[in-house]
Structure 1
Amino acid sequence: MKGDSNKRNKNKYCCFHRDHGHDTDECYDLKQQIENFIRQGKLRHFVGRDYKDEKLKAKMEESSRPPLGEIRVIIGGTSTGQSSKVKKMYLKAVQNVQLSGRPLRMKEADEPTISFTDEEAKRIHHPHDNAIVITLLIIDYRTRRVLVDNESSADILYYPAFQQMRLGRDQLRLACSPLIGFGGMKVQPVGTITLPVVVGSYPQ
């Protein structure tokens, strides 16, 4: 025990330290020792369910605290061939920290809600982080296995698919910026094109 032994409270006794000054159930060193033994698995038979429940409750309370703000690490990106002004605006948005008190963009009144029912969740192992893969109508071609990734900086259409859609190379616009993968490998796109896409059915 730390401190002058003559100044300790003689009415309190700690069995762990075998000395006066504080009660055993107040002993910080004893609690730390027990915590260490529990982490090492030495007190597995003595640790009750209540201890685990308390730990789980503490973790849940910690995770339920509201965040201080929002830092956008990846937010879409600029497409290839954008002007320097657009790139500067994008950079400004990336470096901005959105404080939680500020209002976010309000949802448009006529914007349809995308939701998934329990029926659609059948035969899916939970919890899951499956990608959303859908079928779209792109210039009158039913295009299957379209990966939806809102955080991608580019919408990629592979050249063989471009050819099968019977599009001409003269419809492509020049792409100045290369695509760069996580490994740092650069790929120069053949070009960029804007295509009409139908999602869902009329009127939404």
Structure 2
Amino acid sequence: MKKLWMRAIVGTAIAGGIGGATVAAATAFNDSEAPEVSGEQALQEVFSKVEGTVQEVELGLEDRRYYEVEVESSVREYEFLIDAASGEFLAEEPGQENASDDEFHRPVDAMDYAEYSMVEEQVDTGRLTYHLATDNPGNRILFLLDENGEKQFKTIFLKDSRELEIIDLSNGEQVYRGDI
């Protein structure tokens, strides 16, 4: 199996949110080997499914070219396979559980969170419940779900810089971005 290693800048990467990750190729390709989809595009596909810290982005050059993308969230470790020609999601390989799904995907009382009052100012939360997706020393990600369990809003709070971003998931628009 021939693989080309690519490195991702390790850090919390959130598609469409505060922060980000970039991928730099370690080796030049000849025309027959060059993938049609970049490593960054593969990451965008992964981040449409999960948020977390990029551990590794690897380009496999076998019969079918694909990216292996490893992401670690506070819930578990993920490994995704993304087609290097189309950018399509191929598979998710089983990862190691870090915590039970119930612990991080249950309603939480967010009143004690630093970002709570700003979220309440920006969003009508009357019929929404807060659900914790990620809470680590660097950031906290919450989803606000309606009574049908549908995600309506996403909040991303960077703890050190006290930056908050609120995204309306129904239209993908940013509701708020700034310091609190």
TM-score, scaled to structure 2:
0.22
Larger Rg, first or second structure (1 or 2): 1
Structure number with the higher strand fraction is 2
- The structure showing larger relative contact order (alpha-carbon pairs under 8 Å, at least 6 residues apart) is 1
TM-score, scaled to structure 1:
0.21
Structure number with the higher helix fraction is 1
